[in-house]
């Protein structure tokens, strides 16, 4: 009875922990999505958690120029609206940047030889006894309460940007080989380190573990210089796909070898010994036994490697550069942000566009991952 109560309590704690982690990851994602479909003006003044509330914005618009004036009831009048595309409501207005909220809506303001009046719905009138002149209209400062607005314009701006399709293809060209190559090499190396006897195997395993702690940023420039020297010797130009494939392979191999070696070493030794007794070579054992049983580990690393390479910007900038021919998707989206990176509407919409492919890969490999686990347990 006591054991049953302890088990129930442990299950409850586990479920609560999982729920907490789900909420912890879901809230930022939901906030990112909400921000991506908000109006850019509202996004710049309030957080995503206020998306359903009315936002207060301080705006400035220029009235129509004197060419639009009409003569009505003995006065020259210019009429217009400050909120032509909004259902908002103006609460205060002003005619000077020093006092942008000096007057209440509906109040008649004298300015030089003119009278200015602004109403809550955005309508305004500028009237004068004499015919108005000039090339530009008066500036009107106002504070408006704008209801929540949701739009897909942010996505349209990102998807319609020039060169986005080519950058998408470039990212696939980089990511797919940079995921497959390290898996192939690491699978062979992991089998050798797990089941083949040769001198120095323990040192190689220790070296692989040591490479896991080497910072990527520290090795970028030396690796690029080495690649350029080798490329000059063999006549291969720099800033090519081959260079970034090799770079991602090198950066991903330590983790791949470590994960796969630990998984393969845990496979039943009786199966491998029986295969050797039957006359199977190491290559046959690897191809017919190890690979099918190791598919869950291969799928797991494929997910990690694909996500890391797809979202990479630093390595792509170093080994491919910023030229239009090889610019990857993350580089293209970085350029859309502008020099100061303040276009939050572009950033949030770009984030959801870039996660479409990784999500498809994750859910696709997750299905095969479960299938591989079941197949491995049956065998």
Per-residue pLDDT, 368: 65
Per-residue pLDDT band at 195 (split at 50, 70, 90): confident
* DSSP designation for 99: B
Contact 118, 142 (CB under 8 A): yes
Mean pLDDT value of segment 89-103:
90
Q: Which residues contact 79 (CB under 8 A, 6 or more apart)?
A: 64, 70, 123, 124, 125
Per-residue pLDDT, 131: 87
Per-residue pLDDT, 79: 92
pLDDT at 87 over 80: no
Per-residue pLDDT, 372: 46
Higher-pLDDT residue of 88, 2 = 88
DSSP 204-229: HHHHHHHHTTS-HHHHHHHHHHHHHH
pLDDT at 179 over 90: yes
CATH topology of domain 155-377: MetI-like fold (1.10.3720)
Mean pLDDT value of segment 321-334:
84
Q: Quick one: tokens of 374?
A: 């079941």
pLDDT at 377 over 50: no
Q: Which of 309, 316, 318 is nearest to 332 (CA)?
A: 316
Q: Quick one: tokens of 164?
A: 């986005």
Mean pLDDT value of segment 356-364:
82
Per-residue pLDDT, 77: 93
pLDDT at 370 over 90: no
Range from 86-95, 144-153, 173-182, 354-363 that averages highest in pLDDT: 173-182
Contact 174, 252 (CB under 8 A): no
Per-residue pLDDT, 180: 93
Range from 42-51, 188-197, 218-227, 345-354 that averages highest in pLDDT: 188-197
CA distance 279 to 282: 10
Mean pLDDT value of segment 5-11:
74
Largest Cα–Cα distance in the chain?
111
Q: Quick one: tokens of 199?
A: 């001198």
Phi-psi label, residue 321: left if phi above 0, alpha if psi -120 to 50, beta otherwise? left
* Percent above pLDDT 90 for the chain: 15
Mean pLDDT value of segment 257-263:
87
Per-residue pLDDT, 304: 85
pLDDT at 340 over 90: no
Q: State the sign of the Cα–Cα–Cα–Cα dihedral 189, 195, 200, 204.
A: positive
Query: What tens digit of pLDDT does each residue of 304-323 get?
Result: 899 899 988 888 888 888 88
Per-residue pLDDT band at 376 (split at 50, 70, 90): very low
pLDDT at 125 over 60: yes
CA distance 241 to 181: 13
Reported for 296-299, long-range contacts at CB under 8 A and 24+ positions apart, including other chains, are 296/263, 296/369, 296/372, 296/373, 296/376, 297/259, 297/260, 297/263, 297/264, 298/183, 298/187, 298/260, 299/365, 299/366, 299/368, 299/369, 299/372
Mean pLDDT value of segment 166-183:
91
Tell me the residue ranges of DSSP E strands in the chain: 55-62, 70-72, 75-81, 89-94, 103-104, 108-111, 114-118, 123-128, 139-146
Contact 77, 125 (CB under 8 A): yes
pLDDT at 10 over 90: no
Q: For the chain, give every domain's residue range.
A: 55-147, 155-377
Per-residue pLDDT band at 379 (split at 50, 70, 90): very low
Higher-pLDDT residue of 368, 257 = 257
């Amino acid at each position: 009875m006591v054991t049953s109560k302890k088990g129930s309590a442990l299950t409850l704690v586990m479920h609560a922990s999982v729920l907490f982690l789900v909420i912890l990851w879901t809230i930022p994602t939901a906030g990112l999505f909400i921000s991506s479909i908000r109006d850019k003006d509202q996004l710049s003044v309030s957080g995503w958690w206020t998306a359903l509330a009315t936002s207060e914005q301080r705006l400035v618009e220029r009235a129509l120029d004197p060419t639009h004036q009409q003569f009505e009831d003995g006065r020259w009048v210019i009429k217009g609206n400050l909120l032509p595309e909004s259902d908002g409501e103006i609460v205060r207005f002003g005619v000077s940047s020093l006092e942008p909220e000096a007057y209440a809506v509906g109040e008649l303001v004298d300015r030089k030889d003119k009278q200015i009046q602004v109403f809550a719905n955005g309508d305004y009138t500028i009237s004068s006894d004499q015919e108005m002149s000039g090339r530009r209209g008066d500036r009107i400062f106002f504070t408006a309460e704008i209801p929540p607005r949701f739009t897909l314009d942010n996505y349209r701006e990102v998807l319609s940007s020039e060169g986005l399709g080519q950058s998408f293809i470039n990212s696939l060209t980089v990511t797919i080989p940079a995921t497959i190559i390290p898996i192939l090499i690491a699978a062979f190396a992991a089998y050798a380190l797990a089941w083949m006897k040769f001198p120095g195997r323990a040192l190689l395993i220790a070296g692989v573990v040591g490479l896991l702690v080497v910072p990527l940023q520290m090795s970028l420039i030396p690796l690029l210089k080495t690649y350029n020297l080798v490329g000059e010797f063999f006549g291969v130009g720099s800033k090519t796909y081959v260079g970034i494939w090799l770079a991602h392979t090198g950066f991903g191999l330590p983790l791949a070898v470590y994960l796969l070696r630990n998984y393969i070493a845990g496979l039943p030794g009786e199966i491998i010994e029986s295969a050797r007794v039957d006359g199977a070579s190491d290559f046959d054992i690897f191809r017919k036994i190890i690979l099918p049983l190791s598919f869950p580990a291969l799928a797991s690393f494929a997910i990690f490697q694909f996500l890391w390479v797809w979202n990479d910007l630093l390595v792509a900038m170093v080994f491919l550069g910023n030229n239009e021919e090889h610019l990857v998707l993350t580089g293209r989206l970085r350029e859309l942000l502008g020099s100061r990176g303040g276009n939050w509407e572009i950033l949030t919409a770009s984030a959801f566009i870039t996660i479409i492919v990784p999500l498809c890969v994750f859910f696709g490999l997750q299905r095969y991952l479960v299938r591989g686990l079941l197949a491995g347990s049956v065998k």
